[in-house]
A = this chain, B = another copy of it.
Amino acid sequence: MAVAEFTPTYSETRSLSSQFSSLTKTRLSYNRLNLLRPLQKPHNARVFCSVAPNQVQAPVAPQQIDNPKSKHECFGVFCVTYDLKAEEQTKSWKKLINIAVSGAAGMISNHLLFKLASGEVFGPDQPIALKLLGSERSFEALEGVAMELEDSLYPLLREVSIGIDPYDVFQDVEWALLIGAKPRGPGMERAGLLDINGQIFAEQGKALNAVASRNAKVIVVGNPCNTNALICLKNAPNIPAKNFHALTRLDENRAKCQLALKAGVFYDKVSNVTIWGNHSTTQVPDFLNAKIGGLPAKDVIKDNHWLENEFTEKVQKRGGALIKKWGRSSAASTAVSIVDAIRSLVTPTPKGDWFSSGVYTSGNPYGIAEDIVFSMPCRSDGNGDYELVKDVIIDDYLRERIKKTEAELLAEKRCVAHLTGEGNAFCDLPEDTMLPGEQ
């Protein structure tokens, strides 16, 4: 029964036919019992009516569809009613999942949204709802994005809504992909950037805490992503801290590519690459544990000077080199790496391999400081969760670098104490560690 797929909390029915009124009432009653959600402020949310006749002989009030939508509602053709269970092609599909994307009018999202809609990420039997978060300034662009999603006719993309209030957009989301962040203005220090973006992520954490699924998975892409993720999770105590990720997958992918190039092999031969620490220039691409064709990368490449002195720089300078060539930042491959990050959580990790993700340090086996978001090697059995990999080698070279990126993350944490509920901020970031080509 498709009703069970949704748990709308407040109603402003999008039902296009009066025949659903009794159903709507029933659902409202049901939702009044749903007291677990600590709603922090009243707001109008939409109700999807996924139970509808497919009697196209009786087309429903089309004039409603042409009405302009208020700023937190379904968009265009995605407002129509449907019933997946009633159709031969869709009745075996999984339950619809809600995916929020912030910065939805930006270039990374412009790649990512279509990948999500195509089925490439969650599979060919996983219908999805996309909930696009933008800003007042970008609202028209959000509409443009939604129009292009309409014109793409993706069967799995069942619902699209656009909005500028995270308390609306994050309603019931199972995934929140937080891409939007303020770029660094001219002359802005990293501390300033941390503060301005930290405030955004504190607000979004609060909104997730209030309205998202209790087991929502959150991937933070907007920079500085590790500390933004920390702020976000600290403001969402009702969602497990383990569910928050800072994206270091693009760094991992770039590291794999550079190792493949150096070894003269195709990139599918490279595995077990960890990015340790912060998504910044203190990050540590780990060649010690990396494998090429199943063998230690060091034994294959046999060029320690390159590994210790050039490899990391090659990974880190990639974004800047790309901007120089292409004239724009690497939106496409960033979107691919977000897809990879999600797929790594929803499909079992290949035997013996792992993936990198910036995750909350709580009982980690590497001796890394607790209570920060640190990129580490993870494995998943495909249920959305992960565990840390235990059998990695950490030698003196690696440990020294890990300590440096750890120190930076601890400093960043002190810098945003006012946003994590830990008192007054004290900001002593010594240098600019923003990766080249990133904002």
Contact = CB atoms under 8 A, between A and B. Distances in A.
Which size bracket describes the interface of A in this complex? 35 or more
A336 interface: yes
A155 interface: yes
A413 B60 CA distance: 45
Interface in A249-268: 250, 253-254, 256-257, 260-268
Contacts of A76: 261
A70 interface: no
A292 interface: yes
A354 B153 CA distance: 15
Contacts of A16: 264
A293 interface: yes
B158 A266 contact: yes
Provide the main secondary structure of the chain A interface. helix
Contacts of A295: 56-57
Contacts of A141: 325-327
Contacts of A325: 140-141, 143-144, 147
A261 B294 CA distance: 53
A264 B16 CA distance: 8
A199 interface: no
A120 interface: yes
A62 B264 contact: yes
A324 B82 CA distance: 30
Nearest to A87: B268
A77 B267 contact: yes
Give the oligomeric copy count.
2
B332 A59 contact: no
A301 interface: yes
A130 to B, nearest CB: 13
A152 B61 contact: no
A212 B149 CA distance: 34
Interface stretch (A110-118, A165-173, A178-186, A387-395): A110-118
Interface in A154-204: 154-155, 158
A322 interface: yes
A154 B301 CA distance: 22
Interface of A: 16, 54-57, 59-62, 64-66, 76-77, 80, 82, 89, 105, 110-111, 114-115, 118, 120, 140-141, 143-145, 147-155, 158, 250, 253-254, 256-257, 260-269, 292-295, 299-302, 318, 321-322, 324-327, 330, 332-333, 335-337, 340
- Top-8 shortest CB links A-B: A144-B326, A56-B293, A144-B325, A60-B264, A148-B333, A152-B336, A151-B333, A59-B263
